[in-house]
A and B are shown apart, each in its own frame.
Chain A
Amino acid sequence: MYKITNKQQLNSNVVRMSVEAPLVANKGKAGQFIIFRVDEFGERIPLTIAGTDKEKGTVDIIFQIVGKGTRLLAEKEEGEEILDFVGPLGKPSKLEGYKKACVIGGGVGTAIAYPSAVALHELGTEVDVIVGFRNKDIVILEEEFKSASDNLYVMTDDGSYGEHGFVTKKLEDLLEAGVDYDLVIAIGPVPMMKAVVALTKPKNIKTLVSLNPIMVDGTGMCGGCRVLINGESKFACVDGPEFDGFEVDFDDLTRRNRSYFEEEQERDHACRMQLAAQKLSEKN
Chain B
Amino acid sequence: MAKRNMSPQKVEMPTQDPLVRARNFKEVAHGYTEEMAREEALRCLQCKHKPCMNGCPVNVKIPEFIQLIVEGDYIAANQKILETNVLPAVCGRVCPQESQCEQLCVRGIKHEPVAIGRLERFVADYFREHSEPKPHGYEKNGIKVAVIGSGPAGLSCAGDLARLGYDVTIFESLPEGGGVLVYGIPEFRLPNDIVKHEIEQLKLDGVKLETNVIVGRSITIDELFDEYGFEAVFVGSGAGLPVFLGIPGENSVGVYSANEYLTRSNLMRAYDDRYDTPIRKSKCVAVVGGGNVAMDSARTALRLGAEKVYIVYRRSFDEMPARVEEVHHAQEEGVIFNNLTNPVAVLHDERGEVTGMKCIRMELGEPDASGRRRPIPIEGSEFDLEVDTIVIAVGTNPNPLIKSTTEGLDVTSWGGIITDEFGATSREGIFAGGDAVTGAATVISAAGAGKVAAEAIDKYLKNKHA
Contacts of A57 in B (CB 8 A): none
A86 within 8 A of B: yes
Inter-chain contact A233/B244, CB cutoff 8 Å: yes
Contacts of A87 in B (CB 8 A): 214, 217-218
Identify which of residues 154-174 in chain B touch chain A, using a CB-to-CB cut-off of 8 Å: 173-174
Contact with A along B240-257 (1 / 0, CB 8 A): 111010100011111011
Contacts of B260 in A (CB 8 A): 216, 222-224
Alpha-carbon distance between A216 and B264 when the two chains are bound, in angstroms: 8
> Shortest Cβ distance from A33 into chain B, in angstroms?
11
Inter-chain contact A238/B401, CB cutoff 8 Å: yes
Alpha-carbon distance between A259 and B277 when the two chains are bound, in angstroms: 13
Inter-chain contact B399/A41, CB cutoff 8 Å: no
A68 within 8 A of B: yes
B281 within 8 A of A: yes
Inter-chain contact A263/B278, CB cutoff 8 Å: yes
Contacts of A88 in B (CB 8 A): 217-218
Inter-chain contact B399/A256, CB cutoff 8 Å: no
Q: Which residue among B214, B244, B252, B351 has the maximum number of chain A CB atoms within 10 Å of its CB?
A: B214
Contacts of A220 in B (CB 8 A): 240-241, 399-401
Alpha-carbon distance between A44 and B242 when the two chains are bound, in angstroms: 19
B59 within 8 A of A: no
Inter-chain contact A43/B277, CB cutoff 8 Å: yes
A100 within 8 A of B: no
Of the candidates B268, B278, B281, which one forms a contact with A264 in the assembled complex, judged by CB atoms under 8 Å apart? B278
Contacts of B242 in A (CB 8 A): 221-223
Alpha-carbon distance between A125 and B81 when the two chains are bound, in angstroms: 64
Alpha-carbon distance between A216 and B251 when the two chains are bound, in angstroms: 16
Of the candidates A37, A86, A228, A252, which one forms a contact with B214 in the assembled complex, judged by CB atoms under 8 Å apart? A86
Of the candidates B174, B277, B281, which one forms a contact with A217 in the assembled complex, judged by CB atoms under 8 Å apart? B174
B5 within 8 A of A: no
A85 within 8 A of B: yes
Identify which of residues 60-110 in chain A touch chain B, using a CB-to-CB cut-off of 8 Å: 68-69, 83-89
A174 within 8 A of B: no
Residue of A nearest to B277 (CB): A43
Q: Do A85 and B212 form a contact, CB below 8 Å, given A216-B268, A219-B173, A267-B276?
A: yes
Q: Which residue among B218, B257, B274, B277 has the maximum number of chain A CB atoms within 10 Å of its CB?
A: B218
Identify which of residues 341-372 in chain B touch chain A, using a CB-to-CB cut-off of 8 Å: 351-352
A279 within 8 A of B: no
Identify which of residues 199-229 in chain B touch chain A, using a CB-to-CB cut-off of 8 Å: 212-214, 217-219
Of the candidates B254, B276, B351, which one forms a contact with A43 in the assembled complex, judged by CB atoms under 8 Å apart? B276
Alpha-carbon distance between A31 and B17 when the two chains are bound, in angstroms: 52
> Shortest Cβ distance from A72 into chain B, in angstroms?
9
* Contacts between the two chains (Cβ within 8 Å), count: 109
Residue of A nearest to B173 (CB): A219
Contacts of B246 in A (CB 8 A): 233
> Shortest Cβ distance from B337 into chain A, in angstroms?
25
Inter-chain contact A256/B253, CB cutoff 8 Å: yes
Residue of A nearest to B175 (CB): A84
Residue of B nearest to A37 (CB): B175
Instruction: Give the secondary structure class of A's interface.
Output: mixed
B419 within 8 A of A: no
> Shortest Cβ distance from B132 into chain A, in angstroms?
25
Interface size on B, residues (CB 8 A): 39
> Shortest Cβ distance from B353 into chain A, in angstroms?
8
Interface size on A, residues (CB 8 A): 39
A23 within 8 A of B: yes
Contact with A along B258-283 (1 / 0, CB 8 A): 01100110001000001111101100
> Shortest Cβ distance from A117 into chain B, in angstroms?
24
Q: Do A223 and B259 form a contact, CB below 8 Å, given A86-B218, A238-B401?
A: yes
A24 within 8 A of B: yes
Q: Do A252 and B251 form a contact, CB below 8 Å, given A27-B217, A217-B173, A224-B260?
A: yes
Q: Do A83 and B263 form a contact, CB below 8 Å, given A24-B218, A216-B268?
A: no
Inter-chain contact A221/B276, CB cutoff 8 Å: no
A258 within 8 A of B: yes
Alpha-carbon distance between A196 and B252 when the two chains are bound, in angstroms: 25
A42 within 8 A of B: yes
Inter-chain contact A223/B244, CB cutoff 8 Å: yes
Contacts of A68 in B (CB 8 A): 276
Contacts of A226 in B (CB 8 A): 244, 251
> Shortest Cβ distance from A21 into chain B, in angstroms?
9
Of the candidates B173, B175, B257, which one forms a contact with A223 in the assembled complex, judged by CB atoms under 8 Å apart? B257
Alpha-carbon distance between A217 and B383 when the two chains are bound, in angstroms: 35
Q: Which residue among A223, A252, A258 has the maximum number of chain B CB atoms within 10 Å of its CB?
A: A223
Contacts of A44 in B (CB 8 A): 268, 277
Subset of 13 A-B contacts with CB under 8 Å: A27-B217, A41-B275, A41-B276, A43-B277, A85-B212, A86-B214, A216-B263, A219-B240, A220-B400, A233-B244, A233-B246, A255-B253, A256-B253
- Which 10 A-B residue pairings sit nearest by Cβ, starting from the closest? A255-B352, A222-B260, A223-B257, A221-B240, A260-B278, A86-B212, A223-B242, A23-B218, A224-B260, A263-B278
Interface residues, chain B, with chain A CB atoms under 8 Å away: 173-175, 183, 212-214, 217-219, 240-242, 244, 246, 250-254, 256-257, 259-260, 263-264, 268, 274-278, 280-281, 351-352, 399-401
Interface residues, chain A, with chain B CB atoms under 8 Å away: 23-24, 27, 37, 40-44, 68-69, 83-89, 216-217, 219-224, 226, 228, 233, 238, 252, 255-256, 258-260, 263-264, 267
16 more CB-based (< 8 A) A-B contacts, given A88-B217, A219-B401, A238-B400: A41-B275, A41-B276, A44-B277, A86-B213, A217-B173, A219-B214, A223-B242, A224-B256, A224-B257, A233-B246, A252-B251, A255-B253, A259-B280, A260-B278, A263-B278, A264-B278
